[in-house]
Structure 1
Amino acid sequence: MNRTYKIAFGLFLLLIISLAWLESSEPDPINWTPSFTAKDKIPLGAFVFYESWKSQQPDNIADIRVPPYEFLSDTTVQGTYFFLNNYVDFDDNELDNVLAWVSRGNKLFISAYNFGENLTDTLKLETASFISSDEFKSRPQLNLVNSSLKFEKPLEFDHDLPALFFQKIDTTNNLVLGTASFGGTDPEEKINFIKREFGNGEIYLHSTPQAFSNYFLLKEENYKYAEALLAYFAGNNILWDAYYKSGKSFYSSPLYILLNNRPLKWAYYFVLISAILFVLFEGKRKQRSIPVVDPPMNKSYEFTETVSQLYLEQKKFHELGLKKIALFMEYIRTEYRLDTSDLNEQFYKDLSVKSEKSIEDTKKLFERISYFQDEKRNERDDFFELSKHINSFKKKHG
């Protein structure tokens, strides 16, 4: 390495160090990522809301860290299921479970920008986003309709975030509980909080989740909005959803602490850059090349094909079908993590949900498997019919 090359490399390294130092000394930008988790202290976290509520009702709030479909399998659970996130989207089976639970006399509260197509179609609701004609601002001024809870002056969220409202509702079945006004000089009032009777229970939908964020609640007297809204659930057992969250409730990466601290993060990046530069300039090969040795070829597929042909030629269709069934059971255990030793009603239900097949199709398949196992004189057509149904069942994930 000549003198000029060393000087150029030194200047380049000095430039990298200077840029890293300048970047690390910059103030941290505000993180506006939607989180709504109970532990996040960023602007759109729910730390303030959750801790304040928990301190007032320490015995009435339970954290639910599993999907509603799994949690509500216990039919004795009662209370108010509280969902807070930027979106909550139930699938068909989960929505059926949740609505059945509500109809038994419970309450469902969802505050989100997106409620999912399944729920809005079921309740015959239409939502829309507000975009102001002046400066494209979407800063809602929140208020409640009930005269005992209504504020003299609406409480404003002074930051531009998605502004969702209910554009179309069935007024015969839905009751308006709150509004959001947009615009400064001539505000437009939109519906953002509704209530729906469902069976013996109630469904509450709220389209402004930022009203429960740290940023909103810590400004002046905005906390009164959350207090007034929670009056609808006073005395209820609260089931706080900690599963449908955009933010992480815990961090699994061992680098989280390192990368969450700006000086440590840039020190880590500098080490990586230095290591890469060392490899590029000093890690050159200094020994003769190592010859490439081809690994042994895997002949498992050809062997399996040969064995299967022998079974077919000897017309051992029953034995071949049993092996097909054994492989399918192993597939269920490894792919869906289900125990196949007891094929009961719960097994069919779990397999139906995980494989996204109907429970009727699932049961029919296992009836065909059971019939094939019991019938000792299976013919070629029986084996191919069994294979066709198993392959069809595995088509999406297999």
Structure 2
Amino acid sequence: MHRGWKIGFGIFILVILALTFLEANEPEPLNMTPSYSGKDKIPLGTYAFFESWKATREVEEISQPPFEFLAEEETPAGIYFFLNDYVVFDESELNKVLEWVSRGNTAFISAGYIGKNLLDTLNLEAHTDLRNTDFKSRPGLEIKNNRENFKLNFDIEALVFTETDSLEHEILGTAVFTDEASDEKPNFVKTGFGNGDIFLHSTPEAFSNYFLLRNGNHNYAETVLGYFNPEQNVYWDNYYKSGKSFYSSPLYYLLGNKQLKWAYYLVILASVLYIIFQGKRLQRPIPIVNALSNKTYEYAQTISHLYLEQNRYRELSIKKIELFLEYIRNQFRLPTGDLNNIEFQEKLASRSENSKAKTRKLFSKIEQLKVQEQISKEEFLELSRAITTFKDPKNGGTGNQ
């Protein structure tokens, strides 16, 4: 290598090492990714809330979907606690939750986005309200039984309930955007459903680590939990969580440590440089290996010729019929136990785009040949043409037989 190239390459390596050192020692940026997992200590995790609540009462974690949990034979009673940046049930799951609540249980849902089907069921409407002051959107939170104002210390898109009925909905808390009372918007409502209650709370950030661990904001969560019956069991939902509750990849542990992460990157860089400068000298020629050819068609052709030469048309016909029935089972998902069943023939005719008459005629021919002791060459060829035409009705059976 030319001396100038060596000097340039050395400078390049030094620059890479310097940048790696600076990056590795740079402070970690604040991770504001929504998680709401009880195991996450990031700002929008709920480790502080979850562990504090577990210290005062028993909380059971539920990692399966609500539909499966509530479908168990002995469905437990209590409080089902959903906390995430969004909670959207499909129709069948929502019906399960509502049926469970109507039996005298409680569902608490705190989410920045709540499924429209649930809101419609409870005759509620909601929309995102942004009240910017100095380019900030940080509403204060108030609870009906505690008029203290808990100020959010980071910007959010606040979801508030815009259509409430005093006969159906009890407003328990509000989001306050200014000092004027008219700017209070409901963000925490209670609705009776059957013999139970549904609590909807639209500011899940209020249960995050970043909010609760500042300025006595933990009182807000304590006040919210005060609305629950202390005798009821609590079921903490782990299914509707944006943060992963477990990590299966070994790289998660490797990249989770700053020193190990940059050591890993340096190993990759060194490997790439080694391949670039040493690969041409040490790489051996790669022999060409021809792919194995598919001889299935030739094999089938040979076997069929043996049958034809020995005039074993009955065996050929039976094989042809068996392959055709297997084709029906695989292609149209229909059982072939009873070929004379009218319902079977009508379904097959509809799915294969053949007429019912043509379908009945074909299976009548099949049943006839199956009981014959001798089958002629002409009968075998007629069966083959009929099956081929049935498989490809649009082209008149001109495809592969």
TM-score normalized by structure 1?
A: 0.76
Is the Cα–Cα contact under 8 Å of residues 339 and 345 in structure 2 kept in the other structure? no
Instruction: Give the Cα–Cα distance (whole angstroms) in 1 for the partners of residues 32 and 90 of structure 2.
Output: 28
Counterpart of 2:129?
Answer: 130
Which amino acid in 1 is paired with 2:97?
A: V
- Deviation, 1:179, is 0.3
1:206-253 deviation per Cα after TM superposition (whole angstroms, max 9, x unaligned): 000011111111112111111111111132211110111111111211
Counterpart of 1:49?
Answer: 49
Instruction: Give the Cα–Cα distance (whole angstroms) in 2 for the partners of residues 321 and 103 of structure 1.
Output: 51
Instruction: Give the Cα–Cα distance (whole angstroms) in 1 for the partners of residues 296 and 43 of structure 2.
Output: 56
Which amino acid in 1 is paired with 2:38?
A: A
Deviates more, 1:281-290 or 1:231-240: 281-290
Is the Cα–Cα contact under 8 Å of residues 39 and 249 in structure 1 kept in the other structure? yes
Q: How does 1:180-259 map to 2 (within 5 A)?
A: 180-183=175-178, 188-235=183-230, 236-259=232-255
From the CA coordinates, give the structure whose radius of gyration is larger: 2
Q: How does 1:18-167 map to 2 (within 5 A)?
A: 18-58=18-58, 61-74=59-72, 75-145=74-144, 149-151=145-147, 153-167=148-162
Instruction: Give the Cα–Cα distance (whole angstroms) in 2 for the partners of residues 222 and 178 of structure 1.
Output: 15
Instruction: Give the Cα–Cα distance (whole angstroms) in 2 for the partners of residues 131 and 249 of structure 1.
Output: 31
Q: Say if 1:296 and 1:231 are closer, same or farther in 2 by CA, change over 3 A.
A: same
2:279 pairs with 1:283: yes
Is the Cα–Cα contact under 8 Å of residues 34 and 45 in structure 1 kept in the other structure? yes
Which amino acid in 1 is paired with 2:87?
A: V
Q: Say if 1:133 and 1:33 are closer, same or farther in 2 by CA, change over 3 A.
A: closer
Q: Say if 1:184 and 1:136 are closer, same or farther in 2 by CA, change over 3 A.
A: farther
SS in structure 2 of the partner of residue 194 of structure 1: strand
Q: Say if 1:294 and 1:119 are closer, same or farther in 2 by CA, change over 3 A.
A: farther
Instruction: Give the Cα–Cα distance (whole angstroms) in 2 for the partners of residues 301 and 121 of structure 1.
Output: 61
- Aligned pair count reads 340
Is the Cα–Cα contact under 8 Å of residues 140 and 180 in structure 1 kept in the other structure? yes
Deviates more, 1:16-25 or 1:129-138: 129-138
TM-score normalized by structure 2?
A: 0.76
Which amino acid in 2 is paired with 1:113?
A: G
Q: How does 1:164-175 map to 2 (within 5 A)?
A: 164-175=159-170
Is the Cα–Cα contact under 8 Å of residues 180 and 191 in structure 1 kept in the other structure? yes
Which amino acid in 2 is paired with 1:218?
A: L
Counterpart of 2:268?
Answer: 272
Instruction: Give the Cα–Cα distance (whole angstroms) in 2 for the partners of residues 280 and 122 of structure 1.
Output: 64
Is the Cα–Cα contact under 8 Å of residues 82 and 241 in structure 1 kept in the other structure? yes
SS in structure 2 of the partner of residue 232 of structure 1: coil
The alignment yields a C-alpha RMSD, in angstroms, of: 3.3
Instruction: Give the Cα–Cα distance (whole angstroms) in 1 for the partners of residues 34 and 341 of structure 2.
Output: 61
Question: Structure 1: which 5+ runs fail to align?
Answer: 329-364, 389-398
1:167-193 deviation per Cα after TM superposition (whole angstroms, max 9, x unaligned): 223443222110011247898211100
SS in structure 2 of the partner of residue 165 of structure 1: strand
Is the Cα–Cα contact under 8 Å of residues 318 and 376 in structure 1 kept in the other structure? no
- Deviation, 1:7, is 1.0
Instruction: Give the Cα–Cα distance (whole angstroms) in 2 for the partners of residues 56 and 204 of structure 1.
Output: 21
Which amino acid in 1 is paired with 2:222?
A: E
Instruction: Give the Cα–Cα distance (whole angstroms) in 2 for the partners of residues 48 and 299 of structure 1.
Output: 66
Instruction: Give the Cα–Cα distance (whole angstroms) in 1 for the partners of residues 298 and 122 of structure 2.
Output: 56
- Deviation, 1:299, is 6.9
Deviates more, 1:82-91 or 1:156-165: 156-165
Instruction: Give the Cα–Cα distance (whole angstroms) in 2 for the partners of residues 230 and 33 of structure 1.
Output: 25
SS in structure 1 of the partner of residue 42 of structure 2: coil
- Deviation, 1:91, is 1.2
Is the Cα–Cα contact under 8 Å of residues 140 and 182 in structure 1 kept in the other structure? yes
Is the Cα–Cα contact under 8 Å of residues 139 and 183 in structure 1 kept in the other structure? no
Q: 2:337 aligns with which of 373, 379, 396?
A: 373
1:360-384 deviation per Cα after TM superposition (whole angstroms, max 9, x unaligned): xxxxx99xx46x5344567876544
Q: Identity, % of aligned pairs?
A: 48
Deviates more, 1:8-17 or 1:379-388: 379-388
Q: Say if 1:49 and 1:324 are closer, same or farther in 2 by CA, change over 3 A.
A: farther
Question: Structure 2: which 5+ runs fail to align?
Answer: 304-312, 354-401
Q: Say if 1:16 and 1:100 are closer, same or farther in 2 by CA, change over 3 A.
A: same
Is the Cα–Cα contact under 8 Å of residues 81 and 107 in structure 1 kept in the other structure? yes
Q: Say if 1:37 and 1:273 are closer, same or farther in 2 by CA, change over 3 A.
A: same
Is the Cα–Cα contact under 8 Å of residues 321 and 386 in structure 1 kept in the other structure? no
1:333-352 deviation per Cα after TM superposition (whole angstroms, max 9, x unaligned): xxxxxxxxxxxxxxxxxxxx
Q: Say if 1:315 and 1:173 are closer, same or farther in 2 by CA, change over 3 A.
A: farther
Q: 2:292 aligns with which of 284, 290, 296?
A: 296
- Deviation, 1:303, is 9.3
- Deviation, 1:314, is 7.0
